[in-house]
């Protein structure tokens, strides 16, 4: 079988947003359930930041506010949040990831989100071994508490640059994403797949030559059809 690399986004793609993505979930947990003190002013700020991010406002300023609000959060809080988030990845979806890995596909995660969260969710879901590379932005910790963030993939174009630095070929890259932050990679790939669980994104991105799927298992048909077509066209 020809070797393909599948590049996955995380939030909204591997992890369904129901109702929050992983970063919003961490903020919401810190605001509402954490045993650590979280003042009224910070709660108001967290609510505003979550509301704005869900509506895709202030993309470039979200991370700064997000990290500022989370400073001092114990690392153990990430585990508490990610254990719950892992349950949102269905057994059916987990089976697809293992089927692809066992079929010989290289799979990586490139996200503009927080890699510390992606890694923990995938570990608790029993999927971390499916993805040898999980890259995104990472918290800096001092004495096991969040002290800041190192930005490795801050913008959508950074995802594409990262893939190119890995010497990946667009003809051998399958990209799976769910929206704005995935567009540079999707437009670069020869097999661009957009997750559209609600049916709204097909209309929003109708001008793009993407495959649209309503759930993770449907990617199997797209992969099989494309590989078969390439074999027969030679």
DSSP class per residue in 9-28:
-TBTTTB--SS--HHHHHHH
pLDDT value for 148: 96
pLDDT by 10s per residue, the chain, length 234: 467 999 999 999 999 998 999 999 999 998 888 767 777 888 888 888 888 888 777 676 788 889 999 999 999 999 999 999 999 999 999 999 999 999 999 999 999 999 999 999 999 999 999 999 999 999 999 999 999 999 999 999 999 999 999 999 999 999 999 988 999 999 999 999 999 998 888 888 888 889 999 999 999 999 988 876 766 665
Same domain, 53 and 77: yes
- Residues 111 and 121: their CA atoms lie apart, in Å, by 14
CATH code where residue 227 lies:
3.40.50.1000
Domain count of the fold of the chain: 2
Domain boundary residue, one of 84, 104, 136:
84
Of 1, 6, 2, the closest CA to residue 219 belongs to 6
Same domain, 158 and 44: no
pLDDT value for 231: 61
Of 83, 67, 85, 80, the closest CA to residue 137 belongs to 67
DSSP class per residue in 87-149:
TTS-HHHHHHHHHHHHTT-EEEEEEEEEHHHHHHHHHHTT-GGG-SEEEEEEEEEETTEEEEE
Same domain, 125 and 180: yes
Same domain, 136 and 121: yes
pLDDT value for 232: 64
Contact between 153 and 111 under an 8 Å Cβ cutoff? The reply is yes
Same domain, 134 and 44: no
Same domain, 174 and 99: yes
**What predicted TM-score, i.e. pTM, was given to this entire model?**
0.92
- Token pair recorded at residue 128: 């971390």
Same domain, 30 and 114: no
Of 1, 186, 127, 146, the closest CA to residue 63 belongs to 146
pLDDT value for 76: 94
The boundaries of the domain holding residue 71 are 22-84
Same domain, 9 and 79: no
Domain boundary residue, one of 84, 101, 116:
84
153: exposed, middle or buried (Cβ count in 10 Å: 0-12, 13-18, 19+): buried
The residues, any chain, with a CB within 8 Å of residue 84's CB and separated by 6 or more, are 25
Same domain, 43 and 117: no
- Residues 56 and 40: their CA atoms lie apart, in Å, by 24
């Amino acid at each position: 079988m020809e070797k393909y690399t599948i590049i996955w986004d995380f939030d909204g793609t591997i992890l369904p947003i129901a109702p929050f993505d992983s970063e919003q979930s961490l903020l919401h947990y810190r605001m509402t359930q954490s045993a650590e003190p979280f003042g009224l002013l910070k709660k108001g700020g967290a609510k505003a930041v979550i509301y704005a991010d869900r509506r895709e406002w202030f993309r470039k300023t979200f991370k700064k506010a997000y990290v500022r609000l989370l400073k001092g959060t114990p690392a153990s809080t990430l585990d508490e949040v990610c254990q719950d988030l892992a349950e949102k990845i269905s057994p059916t979806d987990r089976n697809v990831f293992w089927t692809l890995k066992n079929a010989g596909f290289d799979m990586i995660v490139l996200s503009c989100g927080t890699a510390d969260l992606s890694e923990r969710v995938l570990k608790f879901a029993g999927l971390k071994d499916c993805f040898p590379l999980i890259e995104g932005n990472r918290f800096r910790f001092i004495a096991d508490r969040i002290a800041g963030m190192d930005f490795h993939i801050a913008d959508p174009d950074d995802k594409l640059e990262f893939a190119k630095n890995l010497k990946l070929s667009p003809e051998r890259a399958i990209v799976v994403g769910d929206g704005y932050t995935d567009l540079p990679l999707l437009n670069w790939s020869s097999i661009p797949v957009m997750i559209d669980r609600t049916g709204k994104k097909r209309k929003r991105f109708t001008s793009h030559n993407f495959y649209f799927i309503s759930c993770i298992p449907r990617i199997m048909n797209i992969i099989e059809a494309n590989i078969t077509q390439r074999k027969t066209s030679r």
